[in-house]
Amino acid sequence: MDLRKLKTLIDLVADSDIAELEVTEGEGKVRIVKSLPQQQQFAPRPIQDLPAQPAPAAPAAAPAVPAPPEAPAGNIVKSPMVGTFYRAPAPGKPSYVELGSVVKSADPVCIIEAMKLLNEIEAGFDGVIKEVLVENGQPVEFGQPLFVIA
């Protein structure tokens, strides 16, 4: 690259908002970096120049910590997958179980639809349905409690 081209490139960078320019011509390579004027350079300010922050006032009384919700007494049937919870095998059909229903371990208690597949969920425990923790048609997460069996 000849000296005139180099001078033109330097002037171009100096007169524009370009901070850096790199040009490759043949086997030659030129990189021009514009330095910021002294007053525009960013330098960390010493800590003592920062304004003092007032200390936050201490609260008069500590807020009461709410008690964690009580775990339901009994065995909990949890969702084995993410999907949509249904209490009945089809719309208009009776629910698999109601409050007070007696179930055996292998009895289906609901369906979870995941990716257009209907999966029957078994009770997993012998006992009586004490609580239904999910509404029909509600989305459920993996491990979410569905029923309490005691």
Per-residue pLDDT tens digits for 58-67: 555 555 555 5
Examine the domain organization and report whether 80 and 34 are in the same domain. Answer: no
Examine the domain organization and report whether 86 and 133 are in the same domain. Answer: yes
Examine the domain organization and report whether 140 and 81 are in the same domain. Answer: yes
pLDDT tens-digit profile of 50-105? Answer: 555 666 665 555 555 555 555 567 899 999 999 999 999 999 999 999 999 999 99
Examine the domain organization and report whether 138 and 89 are in the same domain. Answer: yes
Higher pLDDT, 13 or 68: 13
Mean pLDDT value across residues 129-142: 94
The answer to whether residue 140 is domain-embedded is yes
- Provide the whole-model pTM: 0.52
Provide the pLDDT confidence category of residue 30 given band limits of 50, 70 and 90.
Answer: confident
The structural domain count of the chain equals: 2
Q: What per-residue confidence (pLDDT) applies to 78?
A: 94
Examine the domain organization and report whether 32 and 82 are in the same domain. Answer: no
Mean pLDDT value across residues 4-33: 82
Structural domain span for residue 95: 75-149
Provide the pLDDT confidence category of residue 42 given band limits of 50, 70 and 90.
Answer: low
The answer to whether residue 65 is domain-embedded is no
Examine the domain organization and report whether 79 and 145 are in the same domain. Answer: yes
- Residue 117 sits in a domain whose CATH number is 2.40.50.100
Label each residue of the chain as H, E or C: CCHHHHHHHHHHHHCCCCCEEEEEECCEEEEEECCCCHHHCCCCCCHHHCCCCCCCCCCCCCCCCCCCCCCCCCEEEECCCCEEEECCCCCCCCCCCCCCCEECCCCEEEEEEECCEEEEEECCCCEEEEEECCCCCCEECCCCEEEEEC
Examine the domain organization and report whether 79 and 140 are in the same domain. Answer: yes
